[in-house]
Amino acid sequence: DSGVTQTPKHLITATGQRVTLRCSPRSGDLSVYWYQQSLDQGLQFLIQYYNGEERAKGNILERFSAQQFPDLHSELNLSSLELGDSALYFCASSVEGGGTSTDTQYFGPGTRLTVL
Amino acid sequence: DAKTTQPPSMDCAEGRAANLPCNHSTISGNEYVYWYRQIHSQGPQYIIHGLKNNETNEMASLIITEDRKSSTLILPHATLRDTAVYYCIVRASDDYKLSFGAGTTVTVRA
């Protein structure tokens, strides 16, 4: 158990819909990262938040957005869903946000999104 | 563009040491080598990381060559529960993200 929690574990929805994935980081961690894992793309970095502020962006679609709240939990919002958005979505957390050798990312169990 | 090269798959016998190679010939001075594993669609699990010295923890040992162009992850006594995809990742100290490649699928056989 990494200490990172994600809800829900599974999500099934239809094309065109909007969903919200939630992540609670490990106690004391200030950074949250979101990754997407699809069959054809592998694990890809989407976005990072550090202490409430966006810090880095990866291959995140404009239909996707995220935020980190004052209690440090984070939500990933996916809208206008397409079949190709079906994937595993992982959240990770770390104490800081990059820049030190101790900044290890710990991953949650993931949310499996199925778009029908 | 991939910074690391790993064999796509390897088998090892239960109870034996598993040696997982990784090539990172273009590694820079400020880049660390990280190893994660992913067991059947679970969240990636951190194993170990290092800069230039060999490292050991309760899970594994990391051996980095002197020129830092390659490394080996050693699982000292593989068990069936070590069956997973193992990812070798090169990450700069100022890089926020982890860039995962295809990894090595390790199958531990009884």
Residues of B in contact with A105 (CB under 8 A): 46, 98
Give the pLDDT score at B94.
Answer: 79
Does B93 sit within 8 Å of A100, measured CB to CB? yes
Does B97 sit within 8 Å of A56, measured CB to CB? yes
Does B96 sit within 8 Å of A98, measured CB to CB? yes
Coil/strand/helix, residue A83: helix
Reading the block at residue A15, the tokens are: 């094309």
Residues of A in contact with B41 (CB under 8 A): 88, 110, 112
- Give dist(CA A28, CA A32) in Å, integer: 11
User: Is A108 within 8 Å of A2 (Cβ atoms)?
Assistant: yes
Does A109 sit within 8 Å of B42, measured CB to CB? yes
Distance from CA of A18 to the nearest CA of B (A): 24
Q: Is the pLDDT of residue A99 over 80?
A: no
Does B98 sit within 8 Å of A45, measured CB to CB? yes
Give the pLDDT score at B70.
Answer: 96
Residue B40 — φ and ψ, nearest 5°? 40, 70
Coil/strand/helix, residue B32: strand
Q: Chain B: residue nearest A56 by CA?
A: B96
Q: Is the pLDDT of residue A102 over 70?
A: no
User: What does each of the 110 residues of chain B score in pLDDT, given as a tens digit?
Assistant: 568 999 999 999 999 999 999 999 999 988 999 999 999 989 999 999 999 989 999 999 999 999 999 999 999 999 999 999 999 999 887 788 899 999 999 999 99
Does A108 sit within 8 Å of B98, measured CB to CB? no
From the list A42, A48, A99, the residue facing B102 with the nearest CB is A42
- The amino acid that residue B108 corresponds to is V
Residues of B in contact with A107 (CB under 8 A): 43-46
